[in-house]
Amino acid sequence: MLHLLLIQCPDERGLVYKVTGVLYGLGLNIVRNSEFVERDDHVFFMRTEFECAEAVVPAALLPELHAALPPSATISLGNLHRPKEVVLLVTKEHHCLSELLVRHAFGELNATIRAVISNHEVLRELTEKFNIPFHYLPHAGRSREAHEAEVLALLASYQPELVVLAKYMRILSPEFVAPYANRLINIHHSFLPAFVGASPYAQAYARGVKIIGATAHFVNEQLDQGPIIAQSVIPIDHTQSAHEMAQAGRDVEKIVLARALKLVLDEQVFVHRNKTIIFD
């Protein structure tokens, strides 16, 4: 049985020795181990996959680790076998949603998609093909606050571990974002920080760039400013209109989002300040 240990704490000498000592003492076999020391703030990050003969890790593990590590250490045990509960928010574009629905249907996401929520009806048919509940919460005629409250209430009923904005074209308030800190993933259709905000392909066309891209990131209180998880790009040229750039960009967007989601589902992503540390 494969287990996961995630540690974040102030850096000091001997941390790897102490952690591996606790595991060794309990007879747990390390399968994969990654460490990183962030040098600006002297923070130590460690991600360890270990095997345990029994299904349950020894009760002594967490107390022994806490005894060995600095008092402010964050230590968590994960289970790579348990799919995480996810809710998707979408608007009208189908490409990211279909990418995730298909992967989910074939067991390629270590996740259970509990529901899809949208401010439009467009993607109901696609979603229901895959037997996932689709909720239509229109924003028309509602204040932003009222609409967000509705979405939050519906989300809360699912208690998702992760929320994915799979081309959800509404700007979210800090109040919406706060309860889902580091659990809310967005795909932005540009190579951030180029072209923040609306209509990045129109901006890219206007600027005459030769490469466009996409960015998957955690959402924080500032639009398009959260920690970046994954990015990718493709070359373009002067013959492409903004519309054609958007078409070409969609292939990048959906693959980047799927890749970022996989990293998060497999707990390979730490967040420190406004950056990610990714153990892949």
Residue 224 falls in the annotated catalytic set: yes
d(CA 187, CA 258): 10
Q: How far apart are CA 89 and CA 118, in angstroms?
A: 6
Of residues 41, 224, 237, 280, which has the active-site annotation?
Answer: 224
Place of tokens 């889902």: 180
- Footprint of its own copies on 180-209 (CB under 8 A): 191-195, 207-209
Applying CB under 8 A, among 62, 126, 202, 223 the residue interacting with its own copies is: 126
Of 130 and 158, CB closest to its own copies: 130
Check residue 258 for interaction with its own copies (CB under 8 A).
yes
Strands 111-118 and 74-79 turn out to be unpaired
- On whether the CB atoms of residues 244 and 253 are closer than 8 A, the answer is no
Q: Which of 31, 67, 156, 171 binds its own copies (CB under 8 A)?
A: 31
- CB of 76 or CB of 241, closer to its own copies: 241
Least distance to its own copies from the beta carbon of 62, Å? 18
d(CA 158, CA 55): 27
Of the CA atoms within 13 Å of residue 84, those in its CB half-sphere come to: 21
Smallest CA-to-CA distance from 180 within 192, 168, 195 is with 168
Binding mask 214-253 for its own copies (x = CB under 8 A): -------------xxxxxxx-x-xxx-x-----x---x--
The mark string for 69-108 relative to its own copies (x by CB under 8 A, - otherwise) is: -------------------------xx--x---x--xx-x
| Residues whose CB is less than 8 angstroms from the CB of residue 83 and which lie 6 or more positions away in sequence, other chains included | 109, 110, 111, 112, 265
User: Rounded distance, CA 121 to CA 138, Å?
Assistant: 8
Determine contact, residues 107/77, Cβ cutoff 8 Å. Answer: no
* Residue 213 touching its own copies (CB under 8 A): yes
Which residues of this chain interact with its own copies, rule CB under 8 A?
A: 13-14, 16-17, 20-21, 23-24, 27, 29-33, 35-39, 94-95, 98, 102, 105-106, 108, 126, 129-130, 191-195, 207-211, 213, 227-233, 235, 237-239, 241, 247, 251, 255, 258-259, 274-278
| Residues with a known catalytic role | 224
